[in-house]
DNA sequence: TAGGCCATCTGGTCCT
DNA sequence: AGGACCAGATGGCCTA
């Protein structure tokens, strides 16, 4: 049987498969719901095919004998003829393989979804793409590693810069929205006329208040009512580290003058109580903005997803100071190891 | 309408 | 032989 014929037959199966992949079905799959009607149907069909399979064994033998005389012999491994039975076995194998592949990809997506939740700027409505999630996670791990390594609190700009390295403009804006920054202040390469870390035109110089400029200026996102913020309250001030000239914390080569921590080769961390405890003093809840972007710089515990929104969500508009972040445990799935690491991080930020 | 993102199918390769 | 993993192809959906 030629490949084209086979493809034609397989396309029937593909069409059936596509029917199983209605948007609703996909939505359920995306939410991790398995065993839906579609998969049951598929299993039924598999059983039917397996039952029919045995009936064709004899027929298969006959068909194999028939040809081979008219056509010139081919070299190489003998390609077995696609008999009815073989075709059915092939179909079954393919369907099983497809089902496995689907499950595998669902598992992969589930893992990616959990990664989204432990990475800054988790939003149910505005999901980061897969590639951006991985990039942000990589940056996040790296940034946290540097914090552990140096034992110093970074300045916000540098932290956000580190987070946004290599991210697309929309994602950068997303992170900016989460951290209530104007992306232009940490995207020096996009404002070549301005030195790095200098606030954009119209913004008061750092430190001090600087008005939030809508990310929409750069990527068309809606303007959240962020108002103004005082960056000096974003992080606890580190002893002996007065604000003023922005000290780039993540400059690539870092001087480690803090407590000696082993370079962490650890899983992503939630830094409960350090950044969040700092943010909670001054972070302004985004109310209307949350209708479309229920962001959460989600360190701390509780909440449906285990991630309380520092900036609130669904219009509840809690000020971060209302959250008892420090006393809360991290994410549901966090290991004892991670809690220890969190404690270490807390110690850094609270002792410094 | 083009481009980005995604889910799925598919065939190949490697491993058990 | 069968499963896991991978990458290419394809088509659908969404948005600028």
Closest nucleotide over all strands to A26 (CA to C1'): B7
Q: Quote the pLDDT of residue A83.
A: 75
Q: What are phi and psi of A278, to 5 degrees?
A: -80, -45
Nucleotides of B under 7 A from a protein CB: 4-12
**Geometric angle at alpha carbon A153, from A277 and A136, rounded to 5°:** 85
- C-alpha to C-alpha distance for A160 and A180, rounded to whole angstroms: 10
- C-alpha to C-alpha distance for A11 and A236, rounded to whole angstroms: 62
The gap between A2 CA and C8 C1' (Å) is 21
Q: Quote the pLDDT of residue A81.
A: 67
Question: Measuring CA to CA, which residue among A100, A126, A304, A341 is closest to residue A215?
Answer: A126
Ranges of residues in chain A with a pLDDT under 70 are 1-82, 180-352
Q: Cis check for the bond before A207: say yes or no (omega within 30 of 0).
A: yes
Q: Quote the pLDDT of residue A181.
A: 58
Q: Quote the pLDDT of residue A148.
A: 92
Residues 6+ apart with CB under 8 A from A57: A85
User: A8-63, pLDDT tens digit by residue?
Assistant: 444 444 444 433 333 333 443 433 333 333 444 454 545 554 444 444 443 333 33
Q: Quote the pLDDT of residue A90.
A: 84
The gap between A211 CA and B2 C1' (Å) is 36
Q: Name the closest residue (CA) to the C1' of nucleotide B4.
A: A129
Nucleotides of C under 7 A from a protein CB: 2-7, 12-14, 16
Q: Name the closest residue (CA) to the C1' of nucleotide C1.
A: A93
Question: How is residue A87 annotated by DSSP?
Answer: H
- C-alpha to C-alpha distance for A44 and A30, rounded to whole angstroms: 23
Q: Quote the pLDDT of residue A79.
A: 54
Q: Quote the pLDDT of residue A176.
A: 73
User: A104-147, pLDDT tens digit by residue?
Assistant: 898 888 888 889 888 887 777 778 888 889 999 999 999 999 99
Q: Name the closest residue (CA) to the C1' of nucleotide C12.
A: A23
The gap between A25 CA and B16 C1' (Å) is 34
The gap between A55 CA and B2 C1' (Å) is 51
The gap between A19 CA and C2 C1' (Å) is 27
Q: What is the dihedral of CA A229, A232, A236, A237, to 10 degrees?
A: 180
């Amino acid at each position: 049987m030629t490949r084209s014929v086979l493809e034609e037959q397989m396309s029937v199966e593909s069409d059936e498969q596509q029917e199983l992949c209605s948007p609703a079905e996909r939505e359920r799959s995306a939410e991790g719901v398995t065993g839906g009607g579609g998969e049951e149907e598929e299993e039924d069909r598999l059983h039917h095919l397996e039952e029919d399979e045995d009936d064709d064994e004899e027929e298969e033998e006959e068909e194999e004998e028939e040809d081979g005389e008219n056509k010139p012999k081919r070299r190489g491994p003998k390609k077995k003829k696609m008999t009815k039975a073989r075709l059915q076995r092939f179909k079954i194998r393919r369907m099983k393989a497809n089902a496995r592949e689907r499950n595998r990809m669902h598992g992969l997506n589930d893992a990616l979804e959990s990664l989204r939740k432990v990475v800054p700027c988790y939003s149910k409505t505005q999901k980061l793409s897969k590639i951006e999630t991985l990039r942000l996670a990589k940056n996040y791990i790296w940034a946290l590693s540097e914090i552990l390594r140096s034992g110093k609190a970074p300045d916000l700009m540098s932290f956000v810069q580190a987070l946004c390295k290599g991210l697309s403009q929309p994602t950068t804006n997303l992170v900016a929205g989460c951290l209530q920054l104007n992306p232009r202040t940490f995207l020096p390469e996009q404002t070549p006329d301005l030195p790095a870390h200098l606030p954009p035109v119209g913004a008061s110089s750092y430190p001090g208040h600087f008005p939030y400029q809508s990310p929409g200026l750069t990527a068309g996102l809606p303007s959240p009512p962020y108002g103004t913020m005082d960056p000096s309250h974003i992080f606890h001030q580190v002893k002996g580290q007065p604000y003023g000239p922005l000290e780039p914390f993540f400059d690539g080569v870092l001087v480690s003058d803090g407590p000696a921590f082993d370079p962490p080769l650890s899983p992503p961390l939630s830094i409960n109580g350090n950044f969040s405890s700092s943010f909670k003093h001054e972070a302004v809840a985004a109310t209307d903005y949350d209708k479309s972007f229920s962001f959460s710089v989600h360190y701390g515990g509780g909440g449906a997803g285990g991630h309380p929104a520092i900036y609130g969500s669904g219009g509840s508009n809690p000020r971060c100071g209302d959250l008892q972040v420090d006393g809360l445990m991290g994410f549901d799935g966090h290991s004892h190891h991670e809690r220890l690491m969190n404690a270490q991080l807390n110690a850094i930020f609270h002792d410094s």
